[in-house]
Chain A
Amino acid sequence: MADVTITVDGKKVTAPAGTLLIEACKSAGIEVPAFCYYPGLSVQGACRMCLVRIEKMPKLQTACTVPIAEGMVVTTDTPEVHQARKATVEILLGNHPLDCPVCDAGGECELQDMTFAYGAAESKYMEAKQHKEEQQWSPVVFFDRPRCILCYRCVRVCGEGMDVWALGVQNRGVTSLIAPNQQDHLECEECGMCIDICPVGALTSGAYRYKTRPWEMNHVGTICTHCGDGCKTTLGVRRSKGGMEIVRGDNRDKSGINGDFLCIKGRYAFDFANSDDRITQPLVRRDGKLTPVSWEQAIDHVANRFKQIRDSQGGAAIGVIGSNRTTNEENYLLQKFARSVLGTNNIDHHRTADYPAFAKAVAGKQNITATLRETMTAPAVLLIGSDPTEQHPLLAWNLRTNHRLHNGRIYIVNSGDIKLRRQARAYAQVPVDGGESLMVHYLAGDDSATSQLQSGSLSRDVLSDFRESVRGEKELIIIFGSEIRGDDILALVKWGSGQSAKFICLGDYSNSRGAADMGLYPDLLPGFTALSNHSAFAQEYGSSMPRQSGLGIEGMFGAAKSGKLGALYVVGANPVACYKIDPFALKNAFVVVQDMFMTETATTAEVVLPAANAYEKAGSYTNTFGDLQLLRKAGDLAGVRSDFELIVRIADRMGADVHKLVPFGKGLRADMGQSRGAQSGEADQHLVWLAARNLEPKLSPFDPEALLDEIQRLVPGYNFSRLNLFAGADVHTHAPEFSTILQPSSPESILPADDTLFTSGTLGRYSKTLNSIIENRRATPVEIEIPAD
C-alpha cells in the first residue's frame, strides 16, 4: 500500500494510505484526545473530542473517522480546536456527577485528565443532574451509571473483542445507558476488560472498590501465575502488616505480549496471595502434629535427614517433585540440587503436555516453533483440540483479533463445540476420545481413518475440503492441545513441517513449559537433553551425577508404598490430589513440602516450609509457546521464603558448596529485585539475612540471575538476548529444537489440568474472588422485577 504525506500543525507526516488521521498524528507525536476511539475496536465518532481542522472542509472533523489523503492540511493546536475540546468537556461535565472524592477512578481518570488539559475547570452547570441507578452486575463488576460518558468502549470490547456481546446500549438521548444482558446483572466470561477500558469510573472492579487510591500503590508489571499464556499483569501493591499486599491487578501496563488483553484470572485471582490460609511458619511434625518451629530448626531437620537418607540408602531413595508455577531458575536449581547434591534422577512434575515428544519431533529443525505474538497476525492457524477460550484466553483473544482485523483463517478440529467456532473458516467436529488423534493422521494422508471420523456434521466432503484447505495454506501455524501426544505429535510435525508450518504445543499452568525445559524429568536433563548426553552438565554438577534414569511421580509413589523411597521433596506441587494417590503410601517416607497452603500433600508431610508465590519473587517464566519473560517481585509476606532460597539453604545445611550450586556474585545487578530495597521502607528479611552474614545484595546466594547466567550457558535453546529480556520484552526460546532427546517419556503420565476460566488448581481454591464468582453463577436466579421504562 502506498504511503501518503500530509501536513499536521506544519509538520510533514507520512503514513500508509488508509491510516486514520488520529493514528497518523500519534505516529508524529501529536496527541489528539479521544474517549470513544480505541485502537483495534470499530470507529465511532461519538465523543467529538478528537475534532480537528482540516483545510477545505467546512466543519471541524473527527480525526478518528477520517483516513488520511495525500496533501491534507490539518491543524490540531489552534484556539478554535481548543475551544471545541473545552466545550465538549464542559458539556459532558454537566450531568457527570461530582463523584471524584468517592470514585475509584480518581487519579487515573481520563475525564479528569481532559478537564485539566482543556481548562474546563469552572462548573457552569446550575441544573439538577440526570440521575441513574447504580448497579452491581457481578461480584466483580460495578456499574456506577451516572458516571458513564457513553463512549461505548465497553460495549465494543465485550462484543468485537471478546465475542461475548453481554453489553448493549438502551434508551435514547440523555437517558441512554449501558445495559447488561440479564437486565440487572451480567452473564459473561467475567474477564473485566470492560473495567479496564472504561475511561472513567463508571465500570469499576468489585474486588478493588473503595480499597485505596492509585497514588497509594506501587505498580509492578509481572507475569500472571495462572495459565500457560504468560500475560503481563500489573499488580498494585500497598504496604500492609505482613509486608506488601497486592491490592489489585489490571492491565495498565499494556506492554506485555497480551497487549490490551487480560482475563479474569490475571486480573482478579491474585487474592490467593492474601489468603488467611497461607502458611507463614515452618512446621515440623512432633507427636503426630505439625508444630511451628524456627527456620533454623526446620532447615536443620530437613538437611540432616536428607543427608542421612542419601548417605545410607543412596540418592535413588530420594524423590523430588517440582512445580508448574515456580520460576525457571528455581526449576533449574531444583534439578541441579537433586542431581548434584541429593544424587538422584527421581525428578518429575505434574505433566500437562507431552513436551518431550514435541521436542523429539522438532529437534534439529530451524524456525519451527511459533511465538504467541505470531498467532495475532498469522494468515492461517490450525487448532487441534484444547479450548483456548477457557484454558488459553490470550490465545483465544489473538485468534479472534486475527480473524477480525487481519482476516486470519482459523481451522478448528475439536471433539466438542467450542466458542471459537464462530471465527472458524472450517470446523471439523470429530468423535470424542481419540477423534483429534485420528484427524492428525487423516491430515497427514492416512485415509483409513475417514469412516471413523465421519458423523452427522462431518461428512466425507467436509472432511476432504478441510484437509485440502489446510494443505493449501503456505503460512500455517499448527496449535495442538494435550489430546495429541507421543507418536501423534511426531506424525503431526512430520506432516506439517512438509508445508513449512510452525508449531505450538499447548500445556497448562504458568510455567509447565519452564519445568519441562529445565529438565524436571527422571530421564531428561535441561533442554530435553538425553541423560546419555550429560557431559556439559556433569562438568558443572560433578562426576557423582547419576547416569541412570530415575522414577517418575507414579514410580516414586510406588516405591514409597513398597518402602523403597526414603525421602520425598515436594516443591510447589500437590501430587496427592492431582494423581489421586493414597496418602498412606507415604507413611514410611520422609516428606518435605514447600508450599503456600496446607494442601492434601502437605498434610502428609513431616516438614512443611512456607513458600512464596510467583507474585512475591523475581525470576523468569517460559510460557507454553516458548516465550521467556521476567517476573518482578510485587507482594511480600513475612514468614515466607522463595523456593530458590529454601533450596539453597537446605543445600548449604547439607554441606554442599553453595557457590557451586549458585555461582553468585558474577552479575552486576544482583537479585533481580529480590529484595524490596529502599523502596519498601521497612526491613526486608532478605537484606537482614545478608547483613547478618556480611554480604552485600550483589553477593546474594539467592540470586536467580546468577543461575540465569548458567541456564543461558548450558541449556540448549536458551541462548536468548539478555538485552531484550531485561528491557522487559519477551524472547522466544528454542529448547525443543535443540533437544538431543532419544526417546520421550511415556505419554500416559500426562494429566491435563482441565481448568476453566473460573478455576485454577490450588490457586483458584484459595481465591475468594474466583470462588465468589463461581458461587454467583451457580446461585438460582431470583425473580427479577421488570425495571421501569
Chain B
Amino acid sequence: MMQYSPALEQRFQKLVAQYPWKRSALIPLLLYAQDEVGHLSDEVISDIARRVELTELEVRNVISYYSLLRTKPAGKYVVQVCTNISCMLRGAEEVFAHCRQRLGVDHKEVTRNGNFSLEEVECIGACSWAPAVQVNYDFHLDVTPEKMDTILDTYEKQTQQ
C-alpha cells in the first residue's frame, strides 16, 4: 500500500471530494505525489488510479502528456533552463552550456550523486527577465553563467544539510 505523509494524505482526501467530477483531481494528485515521492512509480500510479476510479492505463495516458510529470526519478534539484526565443536572444544557450559543463550531464540526465538533473525547457513565463531558469519550482531571473554558479552553489549547500 502506498503511504504518503499525513499532510499529503489529508490534501488528497480533500482533492478527490471537491470537484463536480472526481477525475478533476487527477493532475493535482499526480503532481503533488510526485513532489513528495520524487517520481510517479508503479505503486503511486496504482494508488492514484484507485482514488480517482480510473484504469491504470488511463492514468498513464494522462501522465505521458504533461511535461512536468515523470515516471522515472530525476535529480533532487531539477535545473530547467529556458531556451525559447526571448531567453535565447539574451544568452540562454550559454547558460545551458555552462550548466552542462558544471554538472557534467546533458538534457534529461541526472548527476551521479542524484543531486541535480538538467533540462532544456520551453517558455516558463519570465521572458522580460531573461535568461530565466527554474530549479524545481524556484524562479531565477536575469541569469548569466556566473550567476548560475552562485545559484547552483546554494542548492549544493542545501543537499548537504
Do the two chains belong together in a single complex?
yes
* Chain A interface residues (CB < 8 Å from chain B): 165-172, 179-181, 183, 786, 788-789
Interface: B157 (CB within 8 A) = no
Known interface pairs A171-B64, A171-B65, A786-B42. Does A179 touch B72 (Cβ–Cβ under 8 Å)? Answer: no
Within 8 A of A (CB), among B102-122: 108
Contact A169 B55 (CB under 8 A): no
Residue in chain B with minimal CB distance to A175: B64
Interface: B89 (CB within 8 A) = no
* In the A-B complex, the 6 residue pairs with the closest CB atoms: A170-B64, A181-B57, A168-B61, A171-B64, A168-B57, A172-B65
Known interface pairs A165-B55, A788-B72. Does A179 touch B60 (Cβ–Cβ under 8 Å)? Answer: yes
Interface: B134 (CB within 8 A) = no
Partner of B56, one of A169, A170, A181, A788: A181
When distances are taken between beta carbons in the complex, the residues of chain B under 8 Å from A172 are: 64-65
Contact B61 A179 (CB under 8 A): yes
Contact B71 A789 (CB under 8 A): yes
- Sorting the interface of chain B by its residue count into under 10, 10 to 19, 20 to 34 or 35 or more gives 10 to 19
In whole angstroms, what is the CA distance A167 to B61 when docked? 10
Interface: B70 (CB within 8 A) = yes
In whole angstroms, what is the CA distance A171 to B64 when docked? 5
Interface: B138 (CB within 8 A) = no
Cβ contacts B30-67/A at 8 Å (1 or 0 each): 00000000000010000000000001111011001100
When distances are taken between beta carbons in the complex, the residues of chain B under 8 Å from A788 are: 72
In whole angstroms, what is the CA distance A634 to B147 when docked? 77
In whole angstroms, what is the CA distance A183 to B59 when docked? 12
In whole angstroms, what is the CA distance A170 to B65 when docked? 6
Contact B61 A170 (CB under 8 A): yes
Contact B72 A181 (CB under 8 A): no
Would you give the shortest CB distance from A788 to chain B, in whole angstroms?
Answer: 7
In whole angstroms, what is the CA distance A180 to B58 when docked? 10
Main secondary structure of the interface of A (DSSP, over half): loop
When distances are taken between beta carbons in the complex, the residues of chain A under 8 Å from B55 are: 165, 181
In whole angstroms, what is the CA distance A167 to B58 when docked? 9
In whole angstroms, what is the CA distance A179 to B64 when docked? 11
Contact B57 A166 (CB under 8 A): yes
Residue in chain B with minimal CB distance to A784: B42
Contact A786 B71 (CB under 8 A): yes
Contact A165 B71 (CB under 8 A): no
In whole angstroms, what is the CA distance A171 to B72 when docked? 15
When distances are taken between beta carbons in the complex, the residues of chain A under 8 Å from B71 are: 786, 789
Would you give the shortest CB distance from B118 to chain A, in whole angstroms?
Answer: 15
When distances are taken between beta carbons in the complex, the residues of chain A under 8 Å from B58 are: 165, 168
Would you give the shortest CB distance from B109 to chain A, in whole angstroms?
Answer: 12
When distances are taken between beta carbons in the complex, the residues of chain A under 8 Å from B65 are: 170-172
Partner of B60, one of A165, A166, A168: A168
Would you give the shortest CB distance from B126 to chain A, in whole angstroms?
Answer: 23
Contact A169 B57 (CB under 8 A): no
When distances are taken between beta carbons in the complex, the residues of chain B under 8 Å from A165 are: 55, 57-58
Partner of B72, one of A168, A169, A786: A786
Would you give the shortest CB distance from A542 to chain B, in whole angstroms?
Answer: 65
In whole angstroms, what is the CA distance A169 to B61 when docked? 6
In whole angstroms, what is the CA distance A789 to B69 when docked? 10
Residue in chain A with minimal CB distance to B69: A789
When distances are taken between beta carbons in the complex, the residues of chain B under 8 Å from A181 are: 55-57
When distances are taken between beta carbons in the complex, the residues of chain B under 8 Å from A180 are: 57
Given contacts A168-B60, A789-B70, 14 further A-B pairs with CB under 8 A are: A165-B55, A165-B57, A167-B57, A168-B61, A169-B61, A170-B60, A170-B65, A171-B64, A179-B57, A179-B61, A179-B64, A183-B60, A786-B72, A789-B64
Would you give the shortest CB distance from B76 to chain A, in whole angstroms?
Answer: 18
When distances are taken between beta carbons in the complex, the residues of chain A under 8 Å from B56 are: 181
When distances are taken between beta carbons in the complex, the residues of chain A under 8 Å from B108 are: 789
In whole angstroms, what is the CA distance A172 to B122 when docked? 15
Would you give the shortest CB distance from A262 to chain B, in whole angstroms?
Answer: 24
CB<8 Å pairs between A and B, sample of 7: A166-B57, A167-B57, A168-B58, A168-B60, A179-B60, A786-B42, A789-B72
Residue in chain B with minimal CB distance to A173: B65
When distances are taken between beta carbons in the complex, the residues of chain A under 8 Å from B57 are: 165-168, 179-181
Residue in chain B with minimal CB distance to A172: B65
In whole angstroms, what is the CA distance A243 to B58 when docked? 48
When distances are taken between beta carbons in the complex, the residues of chain A under 8 Å from B61 are: 168-170, 179
Cβ contacts B77-93/A at 8 Å (1 or 0 each): 00000000000000000
Residue in chain A with minimal CB distance to B58: A168
When distances are taken between beta carbons in the complex, the residues of chain B under 8 Å from A183 are: 60
In whole angstroms, what is the CA distance A169 to B60 when docked? 9
Residue in chain B with minimal CB distance to A788: B72
When distances are taken between beta carbons in the complex, the residues of chain A under 8 Å from B42 are: 786
In whole angstroms, what is the CA distance A166 to B55 when docked? 9
Residue in chain A with minimal CB distance to B57: A181
